[in-house]
Structure 1
């Protein structure tokens, strides 16, 4: 009886092993259900006359809609700048050993996070009911310059104050969480080298905290884009209010709302793509491999095999973790 009869492999002899891929019937069944539902939705969108796609196309580039779109973009950008800068200042105050600074920051966050943004928008719009005019001068002394509150705070500025100051409270907690995610040894080492507290924050702590700060900040920016529609309550003609003015006149509510929603979806998609690549940029120093690209995710969906994350970012010869 030789070794092959006993089931043993003779040294130097190669056996051809046929690899059988794992079957995933449930995955294909789920994909089939999704395709059927998508086709049903597409059929309803095309053949339901209530959608009035010709009206949607005309409304998309209506001058009133485009003006509202510009106002929405301006309001979102300025409110986020105010929110991010205010959030950084408040976060630093919260982490300050000075109890007056930390207490003031805590009170601000408590007030602005504890009241609805809609209430804050209306409050800023009617600030003249409390102070008819605002002035600059010596505290408890003479006034040098004064002007009407309604003149100084028009509708756009009221919306900006309501959204920006509210956003600062949320950004303060996001930034504080990011700063506290950096090991304290980094700060101690910077102080040992003679760096000031401000320089340590700017050059050591904040760059490392960005990988924690960026994802929720991107979400807040997308949320701000949509929350800006609340400014319609104080009659600011942003994107939604522009659409509201049109369908109040034409009574074509559904087509106009679809056109407005298309613009919101387009802007949100652009912000999402920008957030994705910013996250990839700040993830380089923290992860051995970068997050997968959308093309890699799509390829993984059809092949069922994991795609190496950030493969194009690996420097040849540094596969152990070196990136460009």
Structure 2
């Protein structure tokens, strides 16, 4: 018989913590590593900011696409399916470059075409910061994946509960807000958490645009000091710390929700 989920002692975490502790002890007090850590930690805030902003935007867009894919109108469903299938088939790096160097200039040109006759002023390509181009590209890409997560969560709600809500006189918006959404959240939380962790790692791709995240600062530092092994070890360690910490927090949240459901306190 396989053990119950979550009952195993986290030996892997103990081993990872031991390796981290051994690494910290080995480099503690070394001026090179102190300066390297200070430099790379400045990029952590950029990485977290890009990840957070892109995740919020992709969640909003993904929910909208999920609702479109469940629409009663065929044309709306087909538009959502077209977006999801096309965007999911494009690598994130290609999408990032396309949005940054094709999509953003097109948006600036469209703004100028509309705003100039109205006297609203014109914009230049440099007025669209690269960091926001990167955030927009990541949001566009992950919205396609998250839409499928949200769609599956909405479809997991039993039809009988929706019918009961209709019988109580709840309007469509009320049914979604009070009946469908609370139950769908419990279903989508694990895959949503996995996508958030994946987005933390994919945020490193913004370094190709020169955004000063952890990866870009590591690249610049390694080129200047030629100590590639030490520098990229530190970069990898920072990303591992971020992703493992987020994974643990998400598992704890899932466990709390599971216990709440078992006690019967998470009904619609």
The alignment's TM-score, normalised by the length of structure 2, stands at 0.81
1:56 deviates by 6.7
Q: Is the 8 A contact 2:112 2:122 kept in 1?
A: no
SS at match of 1:223: helix
Q: Distance in 2 between matches of 1:125 and 1:109?
A: 20
**1:90 and 2:44 aligned:** no
Counterpart position of 2:229:
254
Which of 62, 67, 79 matches 1:104? 79
The equivalent position to 2:90 in structure 1, one of 115, 120, 124, is: 115
Distance 1:92 1:100 in 2: 13
The equivalent residue for 1:134 is 110
| Aligned counterpart, 1:189 | 164
Q: Take 1:212 and 1:84, find their aligned partners in 2: how far apart are those partners?
A: 15
Tell me how far 1:93 sits from its aligned partner.
0.7
Please give the alpha-carbon distance, in whole angstroms, between the structure 1 residues aligned to 2:131 and 2:176: 34
Tell me the residue number matched to 2:5.
Answer: none
Deviations 1:137-195 (A, max 9, x none): 879x9555453352342210110011011111100000001111111111111111111
1:167: which partner in 2? Answer: 142
Q: Is the 8 A contact 1:135 1:145 kept in 2?
A: no
Separation in 2, partners of 1:258, 1:180? 43
- Tell me the residue number matched to 1:236: 211
Instruction: From 69, 78, 87, give the equivalent of 2:53.
Output: 78
* Contact 2:112 2:123 (8 Å CA) reproduced: no
CA contact (8 A) 2:48 2:200 kept: yes
Q: 1:202 aligns with which of 177, 184, 187?
A: 177
- Equivalent pair of 1:136/1:144 in contact (CA under 8 Å): no
**What is the alpha-carbon distance in structure 2 between the residues aligned to residue 198 and residue 323 of structure 1?**
23
Report the secondary structure of 2:122's partner residue: strand
1:151 aligned to 2:126? yes
Query: RMSD of aligned C-alpha atoms?
Result: 2.9
Which of the pair has more CA radius of gyration?
Answer: 1
Cα 1:251–1:134 change in 2 (3 A) is same
Structure 2: give runs of 5+ residues left out of the alignment: 1-10
How far 1:322 moved relative to its partner?
6.2
Matches within 5 A, 1:272-283: 272-283=247-258
Q: Distance in 1 between matches of 2:27 and 2:253?
A: 39
Q: With the length of structure 1 as denominator, give the TM-score of the two structures.
A: 0.68
Question: Any unmatched runs of 5+ in structure 1?
Answer: 1-33, 289-320
Q: Distance in 1 between matches of 2:87 and 2:58?
A: 12
In the alignment, does 2:100 pair up with 1:125?
yes
Residue 57 (structure 1) aligns with: 33
Q: Which has the higher contact order (CA 8 A, sep 6+)?
A: 2
State the Cα distance separating 1:284 from its structure 2 match.
3.5
Alignment: residue pair count: 246
Deviates further, 168-177 or 277-286: 277-286
